[in-house]
Structure 1
């Protein structure tokens, strides 16, 4: 039996180990992908820590990695639209026959391995001009904020927006908000390195959210009207309370960062009078990944500045530790098996 190396997480013991496992064989409608790049996400860190637990995983072990790109290595029976050698990114999840949404690298084996299985319909062709490391992070790291901006919040031109947390998702939100014409785009983060990155990604202003004059500066930048949309990528209650206070009329607060803490609307009268909204957001739909790949191909987007470091597959535990401790304030770290 052919084997391969894979980074496997035991969700019961929370042990991450790179080891030999059987190389998968594609079944009907599946392809085997030679993994060229796989992103390391904060969700992976949460899985290792036990904060996030799989809902539908069969057994105790899973190969991590929901941000994956590579080349089609082998075709299973009845594959109609893919060919050996095709360059592809993989959707971060899929629906099963019962209608459940399953996440790659969480509910079934992902791409922190030399090879990954993928259903044919989860393949997204990528152009030769798009490097594998940049292609890998589009599902989730880019598609999640893209869906939050365009679908959940419906941000339009000249709308004033605030982005709390300029890490992996928030930094891309800044870039995408500028693309759709939002103005001003205001980034909020206590980390000076994150603020510098937000400016490099296109923010009109990057402010320290812990500064005593933060609220006054946001109101000044919005001409006193407040924010049309605010995005919480930090998942911190104090951030959400701060963002709510800065919303203007018809303002939308979009909750992207995950937390199990409650949300409190302290001035319910003002919230109702201004007809504000709080909107939950999670992940993206397949069309969002396709749209982003097309925008890259059209020269509208470039994610070269998003890759903060690359690691070999055997270094997966080190990459997790660097992201967990935010060493170097990374946007995205990438494994190259």
Structure 2
């Protein structure tokens, strides 16, 4: 049986191992994809450090990688919509028996030379979009897109805030500007991240520790506060700060993942102002991916600057370390088999 290289996480020991494993064979309704690029996400780091744990994984080891692009290498029985050589982006998850499973978490992902995918969990990747850019769209771009357009329901001219201008937050800034949010206020303790936010289209970039933080948000919004605030940091103090500058009926969207408790200091004020806290995870892939790819093709969005580095699959551990340490302040690192 043909072998392939894969970066696999042994969950009980949180050990990332580079292994030779059998190349998977597509079953009925499945497609075998030759991986061309796979993104390295902070969620991957958290799976390795133990902050996140797979809930639906069968067994104790999984190939990481939920941001994947590649070419069709083969198809299983009953698959007629795809043929070898087609460029594709894999969805970051699949529905099975009414339950959503996350690629590279609950089942094997794309940190490998080949990956399996359900035939209805892929989207064609236009020739004009490089594999490295295509790979990061299923999470780094589509998650903030879903948070903004679906969960947060942001409308043109609404004042919005983005906490955490990393791999997801910087794309949130771009997307919010693209749909006409105004002003877009970015919040991050890192000066590099704040500069990145301004370059991505933020109207104002603030340090969360700024003693005049509330006054500056008030001035930027004409005293009204933020109609919507997005937490991409997953840090409890961020949520408290965001609530403090929300407008009446404002909504706080939680896209950053954390296992820490969620609290509202002044519950009476929160209820009186009819504010809302909304959880968010991922996006509606069959809808979001074609939308985003169309916007990129049409020149409305450009994520060419989001790929901060490309490393060979054999250096997956190095990529994880660089992201964990924020070495070079990467937006997204990409692995190439």
In the alignment, the residues of structure 1 paired with residue 324 and residue 126 of structure 2 have an alpha-carbon distance, to the nearest angstrom, of 32
Q: What residue number does 2:190 align with?
A: 191
The reply on whether 1:81 has 2:76 as its aligned counterpart is: no
Q: Is the CA contact 2:8–2:61 (under 8 Å) kept in the aligned structure 1?
A: yes
- Equivalence map 1:122-271=2 (5 Å): 122-271=121-270
Cα drift, residue 268 of structure 1:
2.2
Q: What residue number does 1:298 align with?
A: 298
In the alignment, the residues of structure 2 paired with residue 264 and residue 52 of structure 1 have an alpha-carbon distance, to the nearest angstrom, of 21
The reply on whether 1:326 has 2:336 as its aligned counterpart is: no
Q: Is the CA contact 2:312–2:335 (under 8 Å) kept in the aligned structure 1?
A: yes
Name structure 1 gaps, 5 residues minimum. none
Name structure 2 gaps, 5 residues minimum. none
In the alignment, the residues of structure 2 paired with residue 266 and residue 93 of structure 1 have an alpha-carbon distance, to the nearest angstrom, of 35
In the alignment, the residues of structure 1 paired with residue 122 and residue 40 of structure 2 have an alpha-carbon distance, to the nearest angstrom, of 20
Report SS of the residue matched to 2:168: helix
Cα drift, residue 43 of structure 1:
0.7
Cα drift, residue 266 of structure 1:
2.0
Which string of whole-angstrom CA distances, capped at 9 and with x for unpartnered residues, describes residues 12-69 of structure 1?
Answer: 1111111210001111111111100000001100111111111111111111000000
Cα drift, residue 290 of structure 1:
2.0
Q: Is the CA contact 2:33–2:71 (under 8 Å) kept in the aligned structure 1?
A: yes
- The alignment's TM-score, normalised by the length of structure 2, stands at 0.98
In the alignment, the residues of structure 2 paired with residue 31 and residue 195 of structure 1 have an alpha-carbon distance, to the nearest angstrom, of 41
In the alignment, the residues of structure 2 paired with residue 265 and residue 55 of structure 1 have an alpha-carbon distance, to the nearest angstrom, of 28
Which range is displaced more, 183-192 or 285-294?
285-294
In the alignment, the residues of structure 1 paired with residue 325 and residue 277 of structure 2 have an alpha-carbon distance, to the nearest angstrom, of 30
Q: Is the CA contact 2:229–2:251 (under 8 Å) kept in the aligned structure 1?
A: yes
In the alignment, the residues of structure 2 paired with residue 123 and residue 270 of structure 1 have an alpha-carbon distance, to the nearest angstrom, of 45
Q: What residue number does 1:113 align with?
A: 112
Q: What residue number does 2:54 align with?
A: 54
In the alignment, the residues of structure 1 paired with residue 114 and residue 271 of structure 2 have an alpha-carbon distance, to the nearest angstrom, of 52
Cα drift, residue 302 of structure 1:
1.1
Q: What residue number does 2:29 align with?
A: 29
- The alignment's TM-score, normalised by the length of structure 1, stands at 0.98
Report SS of the residue matched to 1:168: coil
Question: What do you get for the CA RMSD once the two structures are aligned?
Answer: 0.9
Q: What residue number does 1:16 align with?
A: 16
In the alignment, the residues of structure 2 paired with residue 222 and residue 47 of structure 1 have an alpha-carbon distance, to the nearest angstrom, of 38
Which string of whole-angstrom CA distances, capped at 9 and with x for unpartnered residues, describes residues 188-235 of structure 1?
Answer: 000001011111111111111111111111111111110000011111
Cα drift, residue 330 of structure 1:
1.0
The number of residue pairs the alignment matches comes to 336
The reply on whether 1:272 has 2:271 as its aligned counterpart is: yes
In the alignment, the residues of structure 2 paired with residue 126 and residue 151 of structure 1 have an alpha-carbon distance, to the nearest angstrom, of 23
Report SS of the residue matched to 1:121: coil
In the alignment, the residues of structure 2 paired with residue 144 and residue 281 of structure 1 have an alpha-carbon distance, to the nearest angstrom, of 8
In the alignment, the residues of structure 2 paired with residue 309 and residue 280 of structure 1 have an alpha-carbon distance, to the nearest angstrom, of 31
Cα drift, residue 288 of structure 1:
1.2
Cα drift, residue 289 of structure 1:
1.7
Q: Is the CA contact 2:57–2:106 (under 8 Å) kept in the aligned structure 1?
A: yes
Q: Is the CA contact 2:51–2:259 (under 8 Å) kept in the aligned structure 1?
A: no
Cα drift, residue 123 of structure 1:
1.1
In the alignment, the residues of structure 1 paired with residue 270 and residue 51 of structure 2 have an alpha-carbon distance, to the nearest angstrom, of 32
